[in-house]
């Protein structure tokens, strides 16, 4: 008799080993940084990355990215565009699959529903289909309207960060999942979710309507695993750390890469595990990031 | 106090007066004037408005203060959520958006209110300036009841004869049927607000027209700082100044950190 249900908890090092060069990965919000740092540590290359903002910028800075699928590469701190993304795009070092939120979620949904395309209105009349030739402007066969056909965005691995999960991969968020996380999970062959806490299966069963990702392929226990980003219900973002990154990346974009190289070495390559990283950041800094 | 207000406060109050009770106001990030305007309107005359911000749909007219977010993407706002949606739910229903309002910026805006968040440069693969990307502006500008273009800068580099790329279709190549003939449903851009002036769109051509100049700004300055020929009516009034009570609510219940006064 085989009666033991398989548990899905792995560590962040093993999680990153699920990703190979050239894969398409989707990264949720807040960023699952424990696994992202391991991706950088593994020196993965030529990835197609579905992501936005500073974590996308970091992956580009670390040399992992060939192609970007993003609706927004904006930063905070007075930078309308994140520096590494901007520089790499302007130099043609990365390919940009130009899109917007509606087109992106439509493409992820087409992948999830095994469709060759899904139609969308947003983008008709814009330059998007001109600069992104995968988007096809067409006339619909039913009422003759002008629409955009969005092809499926198939994802090899989606990586998310959430509040809790049980050992069987049932994930629950505090205050709702991140921006387009569920679209990413549905479009992915496999989904890895970092969580602040592992909970008993009974806690999931107490409110199954709250389960946002049922049966994720792998769960990584990573308290403060989104640092330097926020984790709703747990901690706010570490603005000082992000500003440090932003300054280093800005200098690199302007020609002086020393600070950025040092930042990536110190925070991404040197710490062998997430626990090593947290020791580096320090308890006092982490505890200062309280929400209230 | 009524004589002492910043340009951004003037713009926020002007926008707040544009918003009507019962409307659904969608606010993005990095738009402090719009962020302040929706909160001010909600407190002063919009008890039935709903604010949609970062997936959170909320009515917070009962709060003593509705501070602007300390930094973008501050997810603590979820504590006021009456419902929450990831982007999918947000775009799962786009019919019935007639009473929804949105605010848009751009690195370039052309005479027909088309905006560009993609970038500047003739070669898309080697842009001179790579912009942040379209965010949700193509979908929102296509379906929303109306939207306002809000710019932090009024200069010939921003208000250009032709955008290098268009990320949100405003009034296309012009004409009153510019949207309907493309099957684009929403009401389009109503005004363009800048630190110098308010512009609207002429009814028949949908070409940008000067509606008012802010106190202390001359029509000549606006003409000089616009990279295309604006339609200028025979008489251009001054943009109305904020009332003392609007400034008081703005400063004590919305913009507590004084972001609009920096």
Q: What is the DSSP letter of A30?
A: S
Do both A210 and A137 map to the same domain? no
What homologous superfamily is domain B7-261 in, according to CATH? Glutaconate Coenzyme A-transferase (3.40.1080.10)
Tell which of B72, B86, B115, B162 to mutate to test the A interface (max A CBs under 10 Å): B86
Using pLDDT thresholds of 50, 70 and 90, give the confidence band for residue A236. very high
Question: Do A124 and A93 share a structural domain?
Answer: no
Residue B1 has pLDDT above 80, yes or no: no
Average pLDDT, integer, range B176-187: 94
Q: What is the pLDDT of residue B87?
A: 73
- Indicate if the pLDDT at residue A261 is higher than 70: yes
Q: How far is CA A282 from the centre of its chain?
A: 24
DSSP annotation of A281 reads: H
In chain B, pLDDT over 90 holds for what percent of residues?
Answer: 81
A172 and A190 co-located in one domain: yes
DSSP A46-62: SEEEE--HHHHHHHHHT
**pLDDT beyond 70 at B88:** no
Contacts of A135 in chain B (CB under 8 A): none
Question: pLDDT tens digits, residue range B138-153?
Answer: 999 999 999 999 999 9
- Tell if the CB–CB gap between B140 and A183 is shorter than 8 Å: no
Helix (H), strand (E) at residue A93:
none
Test A81 with B29 for CB contact under 8 angstroms.
no
User: Would you tell me which residues 241-260 of chain A have a C-beta closer than 8 angstroms to some C-beta of chain B?
Assistant: none
Q: Where are the domains of chain B?
A: 7-261
Size of interface A-B (CB pairs under 8 A): 162
With beta carbons under 8 A apart, name residues in chain A contacting B80. none
A109 is a domain residue: no
Q: What is the pLDDT of residues A115-160, one digit of tens each?
A: 999 999 999 999 999 999 999 999 999 999 999 999 999 999 999 9
Residue contact B75–A230, C-beta within 8 A: yes
Q: Which residue has the higher pLDDT, A222 or A77?
A: A222
Instruction: Collapse the DSSP code of A182 into the 3-class scheme (helix H, G, I; strand E, B; otherwise coil) and give the result.
Output: helix
Would residue A63 count as lying in a domain? yes
Chain B residues touching residue A76 (CB < 8 angstroms) = 71-73
Stated pTM of the model: 0.95
Interface mutation target, options A29, A74, A172, chain B, most CBs of B under 10 Å: A74
Whether residue A257 sits in one domain with residue A136: no
pLDDT tens profile A6-53: 999 999 999 999 999 999 999 999 999 999 999 999 999 999 999 998
Interchain contact B262–A (C-beta under 8 A): no
| Same domain as A236, residue A136 | no
How many Å apart are CA B33 and CA B14, to the nearest integer?
A: 10
The DSSP output letter for A171 is E
Whether A107 maps to a domain, the answer reads no
What pLDDT was estimated at residue A254?
93
pLDDT score recorded for residue B30: 61
Mean pLDDT for the stretch of residues B204-227: 98
The predicted structure's pLDDT at residue B68: 82
One domain for residues A141 and A159 = no
What is the DSSP track for chain B?
A: -TT---HHHHHHHHHHHH--TT-EEE--SS-HHHHHHHHHHHHHH-TT-EEEETTEEE--TTSS--PPPSSTT-GGGGGG-SEE--HHHHHH--TT-TTEEEEE--SEE-TT--EE-SEESS-GGG-SEE----TTHHHHHHHSSEEEEE-S--STTTB-SS-SS-SB-SSTT-STTTTGGGT--S--EEEEE-SSEEEEE-TTT--EEEEEE-TT--HHHHHHH-SS--B--S--PBPPPPPHHHHHHIIIII-TT-GGG-
Parent domain of A144: 116-150
Residue A1 pLDDT > 90: no
Contact B135 A72 (CB under 8 A): yes
Domain with residue A82: its CATH number is: 3.40.1080.10
A237/B73 CB distance under 8 A:
yes
Is the same domain home to A70 and A122? Answer: no
Over chain B, what is the mean pLDDT?
A: 93
Kindly tell me if the per-residue pLDDT of B3 is higher than 90.
no
Give A161-183 pLDDT, tens digit per residue: 999 999 999 999 998 898 899 99
Asked if A25 and A159 sit in the same domain, the reply is: yes
Half-sphere exposure at residue A16, Cβ-oriented, CA atoms within 13 angstroms: 21
| CB pair distance less than 8 Å for B135 and A71 | yes
Query: Does A227 have pLDDT greater than 70?
Result: yes
Residue B42 predicted with pLDDT over 60: yes
Domain assignment present for A276:
yes
Is the predicted pLDDT of residue B101 greater than 70, yes or no?
yes
Closest CA to B157 of B128, B183, B188, B182: B128
Residues 158-197 of B with CB under 8 A from A: 165-169, 172, 182-185
Residue B73's pLDDT is: 67
Candidate from B75, B132, B138 with C-beta closest to A123 = B138
Out of A71, A91, A177, closest to residue B136 by CB: A71
Residue A249 belongs to a domain: yes
Between residues 79 and 138 of chain A, which touch chain B (CB distance below 8 Å)? 80-82, 85-86, 89-92, 96, 98-103, 105, 109, 120-128, 131
In the stretch 34-73 of chain B, residues with CB closer than 8 A to chain A read: 55, 71-73
Q: Which pLDDT score, from 0 to 100, does residue B110 have?
A: 98
Half-sphere exposure of B148 (CA within 13 A, CB side): 29
- Whether A70 contacts chain B with CB within 8 A: yes
Give the model confidence (pLDDT) of A66-119 as tens digits.
Answer: 999 999 988 766 678 999 999 999 999 999 999 999 999 999 999 999 999 999
Measured between beta carbons, which residues in chain A are less than 8 angstroms from residue B165?
126-127, 131
Q: What is the pLDDT of residue A76?
A: 65
- Total tally of structural domains belonging to chain A: 2
């Amino acid at each position: 008799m085989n009666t033991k249900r398989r548990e899905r908890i792995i560590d962040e090092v093993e999680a990153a080993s699920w990703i190979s060069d050239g894969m398409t990965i989707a990264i949720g919000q807040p960023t699952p940084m424990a696994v992202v740092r391991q991706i950088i540590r593994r020196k993965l290359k030529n990835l197609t990355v579905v992501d936005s903002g500073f974590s996308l910028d970091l992956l580009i800075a670390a040399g992992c990215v060939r192609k970007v699928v993003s609706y927004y590469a904006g930063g905070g701190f007075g930078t309308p565009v994140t520096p590494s993304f901007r520089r790499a795009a302007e130099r043609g070092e990365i390919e940009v699959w130009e899109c917007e939120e509606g087109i992106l979620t439509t493409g992820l949904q087409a992948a999830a529903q095994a469709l060759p395309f899904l139609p969308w209105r947003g983008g008709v009349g814009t330059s998007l289909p001109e600069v992104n030739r995968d988007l096809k402007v067409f006339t619909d066969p039913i009422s003759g309207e002008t629409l955009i056909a969005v092809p499926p965005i198939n994802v090899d691995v989606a990586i998310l960060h959430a509040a809790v999960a049980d050992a069987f991969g049932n994930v629950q968020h505090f205050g709702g999942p991140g921006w387009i996380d569920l679209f990413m999970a549905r479009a992915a062959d496999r989904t890895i979710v970092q969580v602040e806490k592992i909970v008993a299966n009974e806690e999931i069963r107490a409110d199954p309507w709250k389960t946002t990702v049922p049966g994720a392929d792998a769960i990584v226990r990573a308290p403060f695993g989104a640092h330097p980003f926020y984790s709703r219900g747990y901690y706010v973002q570490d603005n000082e750390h992000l500003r440090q990154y932003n300054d280093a990346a800005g200098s690199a974009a302007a020609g002086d890469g020393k600070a950025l190289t040092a930042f990536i070495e110190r925070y991404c390559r040197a710490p062998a595990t997430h626990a090593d990283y947290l020791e580096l950041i320090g308890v006092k800094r982490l505890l200062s990031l309280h929400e209230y | 106090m009524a004589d002492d207000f910043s340009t951004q406060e003037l713009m926020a109050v002007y926008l707040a007066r544009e918003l009507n009770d019962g409307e659904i106001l969608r606010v993005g990030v990095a738009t402090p004037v719009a962020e302040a305007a929706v909160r001010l309107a909600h407190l002063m005359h919009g008890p039935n408005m709903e604010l949609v911000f970062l997936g959170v749909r909320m009515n917070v007219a009962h709060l003593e203060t509705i501070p602007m977010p300390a930094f973008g993407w501050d997810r603590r706002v979820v504590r006021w959520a009456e419902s929450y949606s990831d982007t999918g739910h947000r775009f799962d229903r786009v019919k019935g958006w007639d009473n929804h309002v949105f605010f848009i910026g751009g690195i370039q805006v052309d005479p027909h209110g088309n905006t560009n968040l993609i970038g500047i440069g003739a070669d898309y693969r080697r842009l001179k300036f790579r912009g942040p990307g379209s965010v949700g502006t193509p979908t929102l500008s296509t379906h929303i009841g109306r939207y306002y273009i809000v710019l932090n800068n009024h200069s010939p580099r921003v208000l250009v004869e032709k955008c290098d790329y268009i990320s949100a279709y405003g009034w296309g190549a012009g004409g009153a049927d510019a949207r309907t003939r493309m099957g684009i449903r929403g009401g389009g851009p109503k005004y363009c607000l800048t630190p110098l002036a308010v512009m609207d769109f002429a009814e028949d051509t949908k070409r940008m027209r000067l509606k008012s100049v802010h106190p202390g700004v001359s029509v000549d300055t606006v003409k000089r700082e616009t990279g295309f020929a604006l339609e200028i009516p025979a008489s251009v009034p001054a943009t109305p100044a904020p009332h003392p009570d609007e400034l008081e609510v703005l400063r004590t219940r919305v913009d507590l950190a004084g972001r609009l006064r920096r």
